A and B are shown apart, each in its own frame.
Chain A
Amino acid sequence: MKAVAVECIGIGLAYGVNQVLQDITLAIEPGEFFALLGPSGSGKSTLLRLIAGFNRHNRGRLLVDGRDITGVPPHARNIGMVFQSYALWPHMSVFDNVAFGLVERRVSRAEVKRRVGEALALVELADYAQRRPNQLSGGQQQRVALARTIVIEPQVLLLDEPLSNLDKKLREQMRVELKRLQRKLGITTIFVTHDQEEAMTTADRMAVLDAGVLQQVGTPRALFDVPVNRFVAEFVGSTNLIPGRADPVRNVFVADGLGELPLAAGGSGSALSIRPHALTITTTRDGRRIWFDGAIRESEFLGEFTRYEVQVGPLLLTADSPHLSSSPIYTPGARVQVGIDPAEMRLLD
């Protein structure tokens, strides 16, 4: 089966004055596992439903395999979608649910039987064909929904918050399962999530959306290490934003109330992003970092690390300090040294 590309070119969608999607341009490579990440109301589900054919954009073009599918009704797109609610039909057995798409395609009875069997075997539910959906657990229902979709061999697989209805343990298990299945089938897969951890662990590449606007597209690592703006920096992982002003001539960042911080590379911007784990909390300074005096306000012991709220001048910073059995744990009120690694500072607009 040939994997296909999905391209959005300048896609816009508005209901009256309400802009739901604005000028989305995005190219998803053939066979890619791609995540759409954003908070609720960001337009990520709308974009997914638009690719499925349930919403129609006002502007721009939507290409699948190089062909514009704008205006093609959902049933003629050959795109598969797994719904957040799974949408299994309660009046049909598992077998009939999975067979549905094949019956609509007028596939012969013997062929239906064979392919449904294969699909159920793929999701390890071969023994459950005659059950009703409501006799299955949440994880099993999800796998039936998946089998029902992949049995028609869609060109593109869409997953709407596929793991959100599962408990934590099952979710991690299904995450691995989904990835394995996607590799095996090689279908171009787009999935929507609000959970950055889910997106980062599963996707080859991801796009971050906010308020209908595409913020950044890239590999999980690129988005985490080099966020292009404050929104991405705060939504993908967590971060400390230090307000101030970059001075490109002297190559320093003048932080409000903290003074000057030397920059590794030049650039401009009005905020500095530093991840909590890039801050060092200690009592003795060394020469590789920039140091400030700080006072611990809160400390949370989380096992692998200790999370501190530390007051540095006018700023309250979050710092994650790795924990070993020999490490000290500072209590609120303790005076500490806060070290910043210049290589871990990111300038943002």
Chain B
Amino acid sequence: MAGTFDAAAATAGPASRWRQGFGSWRSYLVLGAIAAFLLALLLIPIGTVFVVAFRDGDGSFTLGHFGTFFTTGLMRESFGNSLYVATTSVLVASLIAVPLAYITVRFQFRGALLIQTLGVLPLIMPPFVGAVAMQLVFGRSGSMNLLLEDHFGFSIPIMQGLTGVIFVESLHYFPFILMNLIVALRAIDGAMEEAALNLGARGWRLFARIVFPLAMPGYLAGAALVFIKVFDDLGTPLVLGQTNLLAPQAYLRITQVGLEDPLGYVISVIMIAFSILALWLSVRVMKGKDYSTLQKGGAGIARRRLQPAEALIAYAVIVLVLLVVLSPHLGLLVLSFTRIWSYSVLPETWTLANYATVFEDSSGMITNTLLYCGLAAGIDVVIGTAIAYLILRTRIPGRQWLDFAASAAIAVPGIVLAIGYLRMFQGVEIGGVPVTQTWLLIMLAYSVRRLPYALRSCMAALQQINVNLEEAAEMLGASKWRAVRRIVIPLMAGGILAGFVSSFITAAVELSATILLVVKESQAPMSYGIYLYMQSVSGRGAGAALGVLLVLTVAIGTYLSHILVDRANRNLEWKR
């Protein structure tokens, strides 16, 4: 027995001193590798976009391209349209989300769970896929309007023009506001509300003066996210044929005028600027206002049972929203089982042929999605775990910048990143094959764009692990690396897996970078395939079938990640 610690004592000489040095040397190596990854695949491509937007033909600095942008009627119109669509979508999404959030938190009834589920539903379907189905349900000759015409002699042109885009986007993205708001409302200490009640505030005034302001940070975080998502969305306007918006214009410029046309870059810079502005505003307004006042063990805001009349109203609202939210899913499902569906409330003939077509022609797309998204999500959790560890467990200089740079990807529209890649990797070859002709860039674009999701998940997981757990392993003879492998990684596993799943599913529905980076049909993932099918009326059935498969994949993934997070939390519950 004495032998064991004599052996340990023998290693505790200069050798271990070297090892400790090696340990920090290794952290610098990891930091350097991640920095290189972010530099090459995020910062330099975006920098390239900026440089082109501000560079004259002879290489000098110019604002001329911006001048051209603002003097071109089409550009000015697109700019105005994009702002209008994004702002209005935030408003409409708020009108749906705020009452639902309030009902969930305030009242005690079974519908609360329904709202939570309902909140996730739109997110599992990419908005451009939903757009097609919604045209069939709400369009000019869609089911709803046909019924209205037949019975009441009027129709609602809700899918016409920009209104259609706003309708689809707000229905798709309101869950971001809903979820953030519910969390914020739940964090309010019941005593806050009781104090206001005690001083005479009731009903609407209580909500407007105390409850909603306290939940404001959560609301703003959600609203900013919705604004960015809508402002940057490319697929929905394209599918709905609305090209007078910034994202479609950037796409058209690059694909039709060419990679040299500066206007595409100017649009990109403007899109990034507005994304950053929206994020900055939401952060600035919230600065120093962490309103989560709920103490440990304290009670949240009071819940009460619904009066019968109130219950009726609440359920009516929920059922109505549920019907509208579910309509694209149902529409897509119906469409996938039919050959032709037009000018009729429901299709007349049913078939399984679409699924046969998809499996015959497009099984490669399914494989591609699994391959790209799997690799991208894998890269994301490895980098996410490494950054989380560097930030939370080391004092290595520059670690905060990694977090900042990795999270900055959230403000970069997919189309802008794709333009940056095309420009930067123009002419770069690997083994005689141009990089821009391979699927490598698609996969890397996914991993860069979804890194923030995986990073948050990994950070949250590591934050829950008491540093003593790791130190105890070191005390018992495990080197730093062994302690990480045997203690930290297993304890983080739930969070890492959840991060993997959320990266994977959000990458699977990505279209705006994909659409520019796919050069051959053989490289196309499912999202691109759906878009292609949807271009022709005859392909819509097959597109819908592929869409159903994608939604199923994403739904299963979302469900899995919820289970994983739950289990991980339960595992660590007793640990502070």
A and B found bound together: yes
Q: Residues of A at under 8 Å CB distance from B? A: 1, 52-54, 69, 71-81, 83-85, 87, 89-91, 100-101, 104-105, 107, 133-134, 145, 148-149, 152-155
Complex interface: chain B residues within 8 A of A69 (CB): 12
**Nearest CB in chain A: distance from B159 CB, A:** 52
* Residues of chain B lying within 8 A (CB to CB) of residue A155: 5
Which one, A52, A72, A85, A101, contacts B477 given CB within 8 A? A101
Return chain B residues, CB-CB under 8 Å to A90.
491, 571-572, 574-575
Residues from chain A with a CB closer than 8 A to the CB of B576 are 85
Question: Which one of B210-218, B277-285, B467-475 contacts A?
Answer: B467-475
Tell me if B202 is interfacial: C-beta within 8 Å of chain A.
Answer: no
Q: Is the interface of A mostly helix, strand, loop or mixed?
A: loop
- Contact check, A73 vs B476: say whether CB atoms are below 8 A apart: no
CB within 8 A of B478: which of A77, A80, A104, A145? A104
Render B463-506 as a binary contact track against A, CB cut-off 8 A, 1 for contact: 00010110111111111101100110011000000000000000
Between-chain CB contacts (< 8 Å), 18 pairs: A1-B2, A73-B474, A75-B477, A76-B19, A77-B12, A81-B472, A83-B471, A83-B472, A85-B466, A89-B491, A91-B490, A104-B473, A104-B476, A104-B482, A105-B4, A105-B7, A149-B476, A153-B4
Chain A residues lying within 8 Å of B572, measured Cβ to Cβ, are 90
B9 contacts partner chain A, Cβ-Cβ < 8 Å:
yes
Task: Indicate which residue in A76, A83, A89, A148 contacts B12 across the interface (CB closer than 8 Å).
Answer: A76
Knowing A87-B469, A134-B574 are in contact, say whether A75-B17 is a contact too (CB < 8 A): no
Q: Does B23 contact A (CB under 8 A)?
A: yes
Closest B residue, CB atoms, query A158: B475
How far does the alpha carbon of A83 sit from the alpha carbon of B476 in the complex, in Å? Answer: 12
CB distance from A313 to the nearest CB of B (A): 47
Expressed in whole angstroms, the Cα–Cα distance for A326 and B313 within the complex equals: 76
B11 on interface, CB distance cutoff 8 Å: yes
Closest approach, in angstroms, between the C-beta of A152 and any C-beta of chain B?
Answer: 6
Q: Which residues of A contact B113 (CB under 8 A)?
A: none
Q: How many whole Å from B316's CB to the nearest CB in chain A?
A: 45
A75 and B479 in contact, given A90-B571, A134-B574 (Cβ under 8 angstroms): yes
Q: Contacts of B478 on A, CB cut-off 8 Å?
A: 75, 100-101, 104
Query: Given A90-B491, A90-B574, A105-B8, A74–B475 Cβ distance below 8 Å?
Result: yes
B571's closest neighbor in chain A, by CB?
A90
Tell me which residues across on chain B come within 8 A of A148, comparing CB atoms: 472, 476
Residues of A within 8 A of B474 (CB): 53-54, 73-75
B471 and A87 form a contact (CB under 8 A): yes
Known pairs A89-B487, A89-B491, A91-B491; A153 contacts B477 (CB<8 A): no
Q: Assess whether B163 is interfacial by the CB under 8 Å rule.
A: no
The distance in angstroms between the C-alpha atoms of A104 and B575, with both chains bound, is: 24
Q: Chain B nearest CB: distance from A298 CB in Å?
A: 34
Do A100 and B471 touch across chains, with their CB atoms under 8 A apart?
no
Q: Given A85-B466, A91-B490, A105-B477, verify A73-B16 contact (CB < 8 Å).
A: yes
Is residue B1 contacting chain A, with contact meaning CB distance below 8 A? yes
CB of B13, distance to nearest CB on chain A (Å): 8
Select B471's contact among A54, A91, A104, beta carbons within 8 Å: A54
**Is B469 a contact of A152 with CB atoms below 8 Å?**
no
Pairwise interchain contact B9-A78, C-beta atoms closer than 8 A? yes
Report A214 CB to chain B, min CB distance, Å: 25
Query: How far, in whole Å, are A26 and B300 apart by their CA atoms in the complex?
Result: 52
Min distance, Cβ B19 to any Cβ of chain A, angstroms: 6
User: A2–B466 Cα gap in the complex (Å)?
Assistant: 33
- B20 on the A face (CB < 8 A): yes
Given the complex of chains A and B, what is the CA–CA distance between A92 and B479 in angstroms?
19
Digitize B6-48: 1 where CB-to-A-CB distance is under 8 Å, 0 elsewhere.
0111011000110110010000000000000000000000000
Contact at A87–B477, with CB atoms within 8 Å?
Answer: no
**With known contacts A83-B471, A89-B469, A91-B571, A71–B17 Cβ distance under 8 A:** yes
Q: Which residues of A contact B575 (CB under 8 A)?
A: 85, 90
Q: Tell me how far the C-beta of B45 lies from the nearest C-beta in chain A, rounded to whole angstroms.
A: 39
Q: How far is the CB of B473 from chain A (nearest CB, A)?
A: 7
Minimum Cβ distance to chain B for residue A101 (Å) = 3
Q: For A83, what are the chain B residues with a Cβ–Cβ distance below 8 Å?
A: 468, 471-472
CB-CB nearest in chain B for A56: B20
Q: Are A80 and B475 in contact (CB under 8 A)?
A: yes
Contact with A along B265-286 (1 / 0, CB 8 A): 0000000000000000000000
**A144 vs chain B, min Cβ distance (A):** 11
Contact among B2, B23, B487 for A73, CB-based, below 8 A: B23
Closest 6 CB pairs of A and B: A101-B476, A87-B468, A87-B472, A104-B477, A76-B12, A74-B474
Q: Return chain B residues, CB-CB under 8 Å to A71.
A: 17, 20
- Chain B residues whose C-beta falls within 8 Å of the C-beta of A100 in the assembled complex: 473, 476, 478, 486
Tell me the minimal C-beta distance from B249 to chain A in angstroms.
52
Q: In the complex, what residues of B have CB within 8 A of residue A72's CB?
A: 12, 16-17, 20
Taking the nearest CB of chain B, how far is it from the CB of A212, in angstroms?
A: 20
Bound-complex Cα distance A91 to B5 (A): 27
Interface centre among B472, B486, B575 (most CB of A within 10 A): B472
CB nearest neighbor in A for B490 = A91
B23: nearest chain-A partner, CB-CB? A73
Q: Are the CB atoms of B475 and A75 closer together than 8 Å?
A: yes
Chain B residue nearest to A53 in the complex (CB): B474
CB-CB < 8 A to B471: which residues of A? 52, 54, 74, 81, 83, 87
Closest to A134 in B: B574
Query: Which of chain B's residues have a CB closer than 8 A to the CB of A73?
Result: 16, 19-20, 23, 474, 479-480
Verify B477–A152 contact, CB threshold 8 A.
yes
User: In the assembly, what is the distance between CA of A89 and CA of B17, in Å?
Assistant: 28
The residue in B4, B17, B483 that gathers the most chain A C-beta atoms within 10 A of its C-beta is B4
Given contact pairs A76-B12, A105-B7, A152-B477, a sample of 6 additional A-B residue pairs in the complex whose CB atoms are under 8 Å apart: A75-B474, A75-B478, A85-B466, A89-B487, A91-B490, A104-B476
Report the Cα distance A75→B475, complex, angstroms. 5
Alpha-carbon separation in the docked complex, A104 to B490 (Å): 17
- Closest CB-CB distance, B210 to chain A, in whole Å? 37
Whether B466 lies near A78 (C-beta < 8 A) is no
> Once bound together, how far apart are the Cα atoms of A180 and B8, in whole Å?
27
**Distance to closest chain A CB from B85 (angstroms):** 48
> Residue of A at shortest CB range from B487?
A89
User: Which residues of chain B have C-beta atoms less than 8 A from A145's C-beta?
Assistant: 472
A134 to B491 CA separation, bound complex (whole angstroms) = 14
- A contact residues around B23 at 8 Å (CB): 73
Q: CA separation between A105 and B1, bound complex, in Å?
A: 11
Chain B residues near A80 (CB, 8 Å)?
475-476
Residues in B whose Cβ lies below 8 Å from that of A84: 468
Q: How far is the CA of A309 from the CA of B181 in the complex (A)?
A: 56
| B479 CB contacts on chain A under 8 angstroms | 73, 75
| CA–CA, A1 and B4, complex, Å | 12
Chain A residues whose C-beta falls within 8 Å of the C-beta of B477 in the assembled complex: 75-76, 78, 101, 104-105, 152
By a CB distance below 8 angstroms, the chain A residues around B476 are: 75, 80, 100-101, 104, 148-149, 152
